[in-house]
């Protein structure tokens, strides 16, 4: 999430909002967001409702959710999806920004 925080203003300049979904409960999420001063939206998903809707995988041997990144337009249509195989398998901000830029 530090990567997203670093370039957040570039996403905002492209009229794009970042929403991070995580497995923690609301209190834990709120504490983390305040502690890290994250400028984007965090959505707690302790019952894995969003995870199931978007097909994010859970691997017990990988200690939980595998990373998933999606670009969803204003109508709710997925324009890009990346499902990572490990926590290191996350597209760079520049890759994502290049998909958004006109």
Check: pTM over 0.85? Answer yes or no. no
**Domain 2-100 carries which CATH code?**
3.40.30.10
For 83, residues 6+ apart whose C-beta sits below 8 A from its C-beta are: 55, 56, 57, 66, 67, 68
Q: What is the pLDDT of residue 86?
A: 80
Percent of the chain exceeding pLDDT 90 equals 51
Average pLDDT of the residues in 71-96: 89
For 1, residues 6+ apart whose C-beta sits below 8 A from its C-beta are: 20, 36, 38
* Rounded Cα distance, 51 and 53, in Å: 6
Q: What is the pLDDT of residue 61?
A: 61
For the chain, the average pLDDT equals 87
Q: 34-67 pLDDT, tens per residue? A: 999 999 999 999 998 988 888 887 665 655 667 8
For 8, residues 6+ apart whose C-beta sits below 8 A from its C-beta are: 18, 39, 40
């Amino acid at each position: 999430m530090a990567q997203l925080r670093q370039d957040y203003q570039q996403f905002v300049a492209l009229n794009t909002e970042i929403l991070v979904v995580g497995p923690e409960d609301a209190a834990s999420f709120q504490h983390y967001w305040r502690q890290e001063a994250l400028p984007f939206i965090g959505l707690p998903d302790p019952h894995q409702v969003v995870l199931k809707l978007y097909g994010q995988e859970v691997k017990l041997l990988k200690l939980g959710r595998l990373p998933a990144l999606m670009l969803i337009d204003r109508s709710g249509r997925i324009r890009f999806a990346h499902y990572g195989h490990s926590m290191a398998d996350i597209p760079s901000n520049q890759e994502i920004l290049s998909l958004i830029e006109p």
